[in-house]
Amino acid sequence: MTTKKGRKTTGRKYIKQRKKKKYEAIGKKRTVRLGEEKKKTKRTRGGNKKTFLLKGKFVNIQEKGKKSRVEIKKIIETPSNRFLARQNTITKGTIIETDLGKARITNRPSQEGIINGILIETE
Domain holding 97: CATH number?
A: 3.10.290.70
Predicted pLDDT of residue 87 = 93
CA nearest 104: which of 48, 113, 80, 87?
80
The rounded distance, in Å, linking the Cα atoms of 41 and 37 is 14
Asked whether residue 20 is domain-assigned, the answer is: no
Mean pLDDT rounded to a whole number for the chain: 89
Run of H or E residues at 98: strand 95-98
* Range in 18-27, 73-82, 93-102 with the lowest mean pLDDT: 18-27
Asked whether residue 115 is domain-assigned, the answer is: yes
Asked whether residue 9 is domain-assigned, the answer is: no
Asked whether residue 19 is domain-assigned, the answer is: no
Residue 103: give the domain boundaries: 26-122
Predicted pLDDT of residue 22 = 85
Residue 63: is its pLDDT beyond 90?
no
What global pTM score does this model have? 0.76
Asked whether residue 16 is domain-assigned, the answer is: no
Asked whether residue 39 is domain-assigned, the answer is: yes
Asked whether residue 52 is domain-assigned, the answer is: yes
- Report yes or no: 30 and 52 within 8 Å, Cβ to Cβ: yes
Number of domains in the chain: 1
Predicted pLDDT of residue 2 = 66
Predicted pLDDT of residue 1 = 56
Asked whether residue 102 is domain-assigned, the answer is: yes
Predicted pLDDT of residue 77 = 94
Q: What is the pLDDT of residues 1-29, one digit of tens each?
A: 567 788 888 889 988 889 989 888 888 88
